[in-house]
Amino acid sequence: MQQPLNQTHDPAARSWIESANAPAADFPIQNLPYAVLRRKNTDEAFRGAVAIGDQALDIAAWASRAGLNGTAADAARACGQPVLNAFFGMGPSAWRALRHALFSALHEHAPSDDRAAIEACLIPLTDVECGLPARIGDYTDFYTSLYHATNISKLLGLSGVGANFKSIPIAYHGRVSSIGLSGQKFVRPAGQIMLPGSDAPIFSPSLKLDYELELGIYIGQGNAAGEPIELDQADSHVFGLCLLNDWSARDIQAWEMQPLGPFLAKNFATTISPWIVTMEALAPFRLPLARPATDPKPLPYLDSDRNRMAGAIDIQLEVWMETARHRAGQLPASQLSHTSFKHQYWSVAQMVAHHAVNGCNLRAGDLLGSGTVSGPERSEAGALMELARNTSEPVTLNTGEKRSYVEDGDAIILRGYCEKPGFARIGFGESRGEVLPAKV
Amino acid sequence: MQQPLNQTHDPAARSWIESANAPAADFPIQNLPYAVLRRKNTDEAFRGAVAIGDQALDIAAWASRAGLNGTAADAARACGQPVLNAFFGMGPSAWRALRHALFSALHEHAPSDDRAAIEACLIPLTDVECGLPARIGDYTDFYTSLYHATNISKLLGLSGVGANFKSIPIAYHGRVSSIGLSGQKFVRPAGQIMLPGSDAPIFSPSLKLDYELELGIYIGQGNAAGEPIELDQADSHVFGLCLLNDWSARDIQAWEMQPLGPFLAKNFATTISPWIVTMEALAPFRLPLARPATDPKPLPYLDSDRNRMAGAIDIQLEVWMETARHRAGQLPASQLSHTSFKHQYWSVAQMVAHHAVNGCNLRAGDLLGSGTVSGPERSEAGALMELARNTSEPVTLNTGEKRSYVEDGDAIILRGYCEKPGFARIGFGESRGEVLPAKV
């Protein structure tokens, strides 16, 4: 285990907030994910909150009422800011102190004074508007699923994944300005497209708009320029995870990406879920890394017993599509795929250690994308291009519609959760993004 | 011309600050570049300033003393902040109003009251410490010199520049956290390197550390997500230019960059000059774009009469190297190359229009790198790899030392200026970065 289990992981623990105890709840007392929010339709300042059942708790307001002190109080005060960068930068001991204080106050055995302080600071989740939880200084997107890389290379007729895939957690820098929260709607991107058989590009709205199922990884404490992060220290630099949709225009990408990588194909929109599930909440779901023992060993800076034994996290991930027809007919969305983050070839810790090994400085609130998460089965693919085999086998929805790519009016919904016998369910909530028609 | 010339471009204009009138001065009254600074060795707040001769003028302090009002006063107040994002976002009319107010107050015919207000707010340049002039939300690096692309492709034994080079101002997203001001010193990056003839990468400090001579381009007013910027409007979204060194580890880059582009090879350090020369100051140095008329026309969103007629800017650019031996012997640095930005295949306006054409939102204070600037002659190459022909012909310095790449203790100094008969010299000052030995 990356972190030892403690009483906050006890599956028998129950909250006096009854909605947190429902078996399918995303936000039981063992979870306590963070977001930034305010009451809907107000001009209140955004501030940090944790989710518990169907409620959000305004952390700083609670801390001042509850007369919290010490490290937990310092951490709670930092959560009163409109972005959580300062809280992230305080590091694991502060995160842990606040988590344990919240756990005690929300626990069914909490004294009634504690309950009163909490009750005064709850807002129903249905009444909140979330904001971006951090001022994101840099956004880096990785490429760490061997299944995804293999699927894509087969579909493009390549000879296999790149020679460097098993040596390097491959990554590139992405765009911060267009990162939006769940609920994001964006105009279909237009750009240069080289049609098959043509010798000159056309300018057109993308004809091959796709999604990519990923996890977002928030950096907690950063590192100074020139000071790498050791692999076994890397998890302590990570605050937590969210869902992330790396929208991708495959046709724009194919024509622009040589030699310097994707640019306009991906920088028009990236949609993230508002709630950040902490690494501590995820501790019970650690597994050995899926990298086969027969593969060449990574270089020493990317290899440790701890990473091999517990580098993976079994997070169930689902992709759903909701079209205009679903909405008109009030039909449930169509599920497109279901996989787990446990299949990823490189771990979160390896991504962080690699990112900093050249001396690159990470800062609190930086966001990393895990790379598309695809599993070994066809139904586990993290992008529509993979599911529909590059248009040759379109996916059929429960409306009877077929899809090879994302069409105007389609919404893509990501969901994530951890479930395991003997442990409480840890949910991520959802991330929803919708494509508007191009303007051109 | 992108912008009409006016009295602030009059070469006969002189300032009552005598140092601004020296023929070789970088900062005459026709320039008025912006930076953020404070007095050295103090904990004063950083604030905006313009350079005039050998002095810096604290803009907001001057504006309040001088009783400025209207648009110029609003602009000057925005310059009182520790970063200039708000000022950049005010747009060309505010930039122009402040420039003209400064020009009047600094002009030799300024009334003595105006002089007194200015004099109270001057700080000698030798006494200032500069800060990053903007909170940079995103940094994008372009690749827009056909000479550079051609040189690199020949040196790597490729068949020529990519098929998309003449269609797309190619770009990728770079790293914000490691952007440093002139004076930046950084540790030589280490990383994975695949040595020739080897079948597995080693971990090593880079053996092929290079610089790249570029200009930095600050976005002024941004655009809303989903709203492209028209080519002929693009210059009005640009506040100004600085010098930029895109440090590059060629060996790390070669192994990591497929399929998603450069990452650790470039994100360890980027060095920029502190002074931002405005587009208005550069207006006299516009030229027709160098793109040959015989080349295929770009797509309409990248093509206009105005861009063709005045898309280029004749900015002289120089690269100098100073080694430990130069410093020990108090020798002048060695000049490595001299070229002009006028040779670039794509214009600044084309870079901006391309960046936003897919709906990507640019924000005030975003920074673009122009891509390496190399001219047609061998002595005009913007990177050492080009000058030394991929190590086959090392450069000889005035110390007798030879260089194929940048060695520990070497500093690279970029200088820039515009000169043209009938116009005042417009200087950029310099950008200096130095390599420290690797720690591994």
What is the predicted ipTM? 0.97
Average pLDDT over residues B420-434: 97
Please state the domain extents for chain B: 7-131, 139-436
Annotated binding site of A for substrate: 143, 253, 372
Nearest to B168 among A167, A256, A355 (CB): A256
Cβ within 8 Å, pair B268-A137: no
Cβ within 8 Å, pair A167-B300: no
Residue B274 distance to chain A (closest CA, Å): 20
pLDDT by 10s per residue, chain A, length 440: 456 799 999 999 999 999 999 999 999 999 999 999 999 999 999 999 999 999 999 999 999 999 899 999 999 999 999 999 999 999 999 999 999 999 999 999 999 988 999 999 999 999 999 999 999 999 999 999 999 999 999 998 888 899 999 999 999 999 999 999 999 999 999 999 999 999 999 999 999 999 999 999 999 999 999 999 999 999 999 999 999 999 999 999 999 999 999 999 999 999 999 999 999 999 999 999 999 989 999 999 999 999 999 999 999 999 999 999 999 999 999 999 999 999 999 999 999 999 999 999 999 999 999 999 999 999 999 999 999 999 999 999 999 999 999 999 999 999 999 999 999 999 999 999 999 999 86
Q: What is the pLDDT of residues A346-358, one digit of tens each?
A: 999 999 999 999 9
Q: Is B253 annotated as a binding residue?
A: yes
Residues of chain A contacting residue B364, judged by C-beta atoms under 8 Å apart: none
The CATH number for A139-436, chosen from 3.40.50.300, 3.40.47.10, 3.40.50.700, 3.90.850.10, is 3.90.850.10
Q: Of A179, A205, A217, which is closest to residue A348 (Cα–Cα)?
A: A217
Q: Where are the alpha helices (DSSP H) in B222-363?
A: 231-234, 250-256, 279-282, 305-310, 324-329, 348-356
Residues of chain A contacting residue B298, judged by C-beta atoms under 8 Å apart: none
Annotated binding site of A for Ca(2+): 141, 212, 214, 246
DSSP 8-state class, residue B256: H
Sorted by sequence, the CB contacts under 8 Å of residue A2 that are 6+ apart come out as A235, A279, A283, A286, A306, A310, A349
- The residue in chain A having the minimum alpha-carbon distance to the alpha carbon of residue B141 is A260
Cβ within 8 Å, pair A299-B201: yes
What is the pLDDT, as a whole number, of residue B440? 65
- What is the DSSP track for A165-218? TTT--EEEE--STTEEETTEEEEPPEEEE--TT-SS-EEEE-S-EE--EEEEEE
Q: Quickly count: other Cβ atoms within 10 Å of residue A356's Cβ.
A: 27
Residues of chain A contacting residue B360, judged by C-beta atoms under 8 Å apart: 175, 177-178, 189, 264, 267-268
Residue A299 distance to chain B (closest CA, Å): 7
Size of interface A-B (CB pairs under 8 A): 196
Task: Please check whether residue A433 is in contact with residue A271, taking contact to mean a CB–CB distance below 8 angstroms.
Answer: yes
Residues of chain A contacting residue B362, judged by C-beta atoms under 8 Å apart: 177
For residue A148, give both structure tokens.
């995804």
Cβ within 8 Å, pair A260-B262: yes
Of A116-125, B1-10, B70-79, B256-265, where does mean pLDDT reach its minimum? B1-10
Task: Please check whether residue B164 is in contact with residue A255, taking contact to mean a CB–CB distance below 8 angstroms.
Answer: yes
Nearest to A225 among B186, B203, B259 (CB): B186
The 8 Å CB, 24+ separation contacts for B194-203 are B194/A164, B194/B251, B194/B254, B194/B255, B200/A167, B200/A296, B201/A164, B201/A167, B201/A168, B201/A299, B201/B255, B202/A299, B203/A299, B203/A300, B203/A301, B203/B440
Q: What torsion do the CA atoms of A194, A436, A148, A252 make, to the nearest 10 degrees?
A: 20
Is A354 one of the annotated active-site residues of the chain?
no
Residue A61 distance to chain B (closest CA, Å): 30
What is the pLDDT, as a whole number, of residue B4? 79
| CATH superfamily for domain B7-131 | Fumarylacetoacetase, N-terminal domain (2.30.30.230)
SS (H, E, C) B137-149: CCEEEEECCHHHH
- The residue in chain B having the minimum alpha-carbon distance to the alpha carbon of residue A371 is B260
H/E element holding A337? strand A334-340
- pLDDT > 80? residue B80: yes
Residue B235 distance to chain A (closest CA, Å): 20
Q: What is the pLDDT of residues B185-202, one digit of tens each?
A: 999 999 999 999 999 999
The residue ranges of DSSP E strands in B80-237, in sequence order, are: 122-124, 128-131, 139-143, 170-173, 179-181, 184-187, 190-193, 202-205, 209-210, 213-219
A9, A107, A148, A237: which one is catalytic?
A148
- The residue in chain A having the minimum alpha-carbon distance to the alpha carbon of residue B301 is A203
Residues of chain B contacting residue A267, judged by C-beta atoms under 8 Å apart: 173, 358, 360
Q: What is the pLDDT of residues B298-318, one digit of tens each?
A: 999 999 999 999 999 999 999
B9, B100, B109, B148: which one is catalytic?
B148
